[in-house]
Amino acid sequence: MSTTVKDRFYPVKSIMVSQPEPADISNSPYHKLADKYKIKIDFRQFINVDPIDSKEFRKQKIDILKHTAIIFTSRNAVDHFFRICKDSKIEMPPEMKYFCISEQTANYLQKYIVVRKRKVFVGERTAQDILNVIKKHKNEKYLFPCSNIRKDDIPSFMTDNGYNFTEATIYKTVAADLSDLEHITYDILAFFSPSGINSLFVNFPEFKQNKTRIAVFGPTTAQAARDAGLIIDIEAPLPNAPSMTGALELYIKKANGLK
């Protein structure tokens, strides 16, 4: 079992971020980090999100409108849920309740509904946060739109506590093709989900970490990295660095001998 190691402070010249490049890269905190410390930061999506079409969705025999509340844990879930609704000619009734894992997800709902006219309940950031909100609404009929690969916390809680709960697979998370990176190395690989860790080993089954530093965001990503036998060098969020870029900067300062 690997652990976070405190003495792996080798100089950093390059970072691979396993996410798409920000739309406004010039104002991205990654751009500012790269410019400030004169390092190379590349972006690459390690996972692809494939839609499940309405025909495939119908095989699950789920009647969306028989539910009174929807649980959203990501923007992908929001996008693909409303895509399914549009394809199936389903219009959400005004009384439908929405439980969102974070303020960001709740704000994203505005792309599809007028939030101020709807019943939207918001957690602070984690699944446990939104479950604490759900506990106050036990009589709802919940629908949980999700990927084929998802965390167990929400389904387990809902099932174990006897909630009226339906899980709906509306998109698939699959490993992206990273074969062109086979002979390219980075000082740091930054991951944000267990799926990203899985993609690394799907693409490179013989991956050896050696001096490559691993940065992870969130406890489930950290656990996936440990389960894969990786050494975690940078773990976010931290009390003094709530973002990935903040945690990276703290490490770079020490590794590169800067104040």
Looking up tokens 């104040």 gives 259
pLDDT band of 153, cuts 50, 70, 90: confident
Is 49:79 a contact under the CB 8 Å cutoff? Answer: no
Is pLDDT above 50 for 3?
no
Q: Maximum CA pair distance of the chain? A: 60
Is pLDDT above 70 for 5?
no
How high is the pLDDT of residue 240?
A: 85
- Element of type H or E holding 82: helix 75-87
Q: Kindly state the average pLDDT of the residues 242-248.
A: 93
pLDDT band of 1, cuts 50, 70, 90: very low
Is pLDDT above 80 for 129?
no
Q: Could you report the per-residue pLDDT of 174-187, keeping only the tens digit for each?
A: 999 999 999 999 99
- Percent of the chain exceeding pLDDT 70 equals 95
pLDDT band of 125, cuts 50, 70, 90: low
Q: Report how far residue 81's alpha carbon sits from residue 77's, in angstroms, rounded to the nearest whole number.
A: 6
- Of 80, 77, 83, whose CA–CA distance to 102 is shortest? 77
Q: Kindly state the average pLDDT of the residues 153-159.
A: 89
pLDDT band of 23, cuts 50, 70, 90: confident
pLDDT band of 117, cuts 50, 70, 90: low
Q: Could you report the per-residue pLDDT of 99-116, keeping only the tens digit for each?
A: 998 888 888 998 998 777
Is pLDDT above 80 for 67?
yes
Q: Kindly state the average pLDDT of the residues 215-241.
A: 91
pLDDT band of 35, cuts 50, 70, 90: very high
162-201 burial, b at 16+ Cβ within 10 Å, e below that, comes to: ebebbbbbbbebbbbebeebeeeebbbbbbbbbbbbbbbe
How high is the pLDDT of residue 114?
A: 77
**What pTM was estimated for this model as a whole?**
0.74
How high is the pLDDT of residue 22?
A: 86
How high is the pLDDT of residue 170?
A: 95
Q: Kindly state the average pLDDT of the residues 154-169.
A: 92
How high is the pLDDT of residue 259?
A: 67
Is pLDDT above 60 for 4?
no
Is 55:83 a contact under the CB 8 Å cutoff? Answer: no
